Amino acid sequence: MTGNNRVKSVVKAMKIYEQLVSSPDPITLSRISKKVNLNISTVHRLLNTLLDLGYVDQNEEGHYRLGIRSYKLADNIENSFDMKQIVHPYLKEIAASCNETSNLVILEDFQVVYVDQVQSTNMIRMFAGIGSRGEAYCTGAGKVLLAHLEEQQLEHYLQETEFKAFTKNTITDPETLHRELKQIQKKGYALDMEEKEKGVRCAAAPILGKDEVIEGAISVSGPCARITEDYLKQTLVPLVCEKAGEVTAHLQEDPFT
């Protein structure tokens, strides 16, 4: 919808509502007014409407907070949100561009889970299908996801994980892995250089949501016979970073600007 077709009062009300959603504590009328850059009478009028509808509540001090209807709405949104619907078109674009397998991967209980995939049409394909799980430390997507954990979570993972060498390239030393993860966070992508499976290479990049919180990773993988080191770094890394960046921009976009 173009700016000319927007109802200004709705835009103002949603800006106010977003302030309440993002505020960890009840917030005063004057504070909301300052945050959204609207005069206090307009903010008060719109808040009263949201109060009447049950989306906003007031505490004993008269400060504003989310109402019970907002939490019911949040539950419905969470139940209906499907990252696959957003990411799948980008996976198709990756596969169409390079004819290698593209994946959407999340971290669950410190393991990677392949939640969506677009397969290559080549005779030799990757075999980690949708729903499969595996160790995170030896895959490109897994390392991207680990690299964006909070430091306390990462330290717990490094201390508690029993590292196994799947190939001669698997990183099994926690300190070495920690250093690589820090580099991955800086670079914005990770490589799997035959670390989980001999003869397979992979590039992966993070999907970041609001406040730069990691939501998942996009990866592209294939056999070394097709994916040389130069091709991986010069073609697949820019491709997967571009598409992961587009998904990130979509998740982070502000509809009110």
pLDDT digits (tens, 9 = 90+) for 14-47: 999 989 988 888 999 999 999 999 999 999 999 9
The pLDDT of residue 217 is 95
Compute CA 144 distance to the chain's CA centroid, rounded to the nearest angstrom: 11
The pLDDT of residue 209 is 86
**CB proximity list for 138: less than 8 A, separation 6 or greater:** 166, 170, 171, 192, 195, 196
Radius of gyration of the chain (CA): 22
CB 73 within 8 A of CB 54: no
Q: What is the mean pLDDT of the chain?
A: 89
Q: What confidence category does residue 1 fall into, taking pLDDT thresholds of 50, 70 and 90?
A: very low
**What number does CATH give the domain 3-78?**
1.10.10.10
Structure tokens at 187: 């670079």
| pLDDT (mean) for 178-203 | 94
| pLDDT (mean) for 81-103 | 89
Q: What confidence category does residue 108 fall into, taking pLDDT thresholds of 50, 70 and 90?
A: confident
The domains of the chain are located at 3-78, 82-252
The pLDDT of residue 211 is 78
Structure tokens at 213: 């919180």
- In this structure, of 123-132, 147-156, 186-195, the range with the lowest mean pLDDT score is 123-132
**Is the per-residue pLDDT at 5 higher than 70?**
no
Q: What's the pTM value of the predicted model, to 2 decimals? A: 0.70
| pLDDT (mean) for 202-229 | 91
Compute CA 219 distance to the chain's CA centroid, rounded to the nearest angstrom: 13
Report the CATH fold assignment for 82-252.
Answer: Beta-Lactamase (3.30.450)
CB 90 within 8 A of CB 247: yes
| pLDDT (mean) for 149-157 | 91
Task: Check residue 102 and report its DSSP letter.
Answer: E
**Is the per-residue pLDDT at 256 higher than 50?**
yes
Q: What confidence category does residue 233 fall into, taking pLDDT thresholds of 50, 70 and 90?
A: very high
**CB proximity list for 44: less than 8 A, separation 6 or greater:** 29
Helices 40-53/29-36 angle, 10° precision: 110
- In this structure, of 20-29, 37-46, 227-236, 237-246, the range with the lowest mean pLDDT score is 20-29
Rounded distance, CA 123 to CA 101, Å?
12
The pLDDT of residue 131 is 80
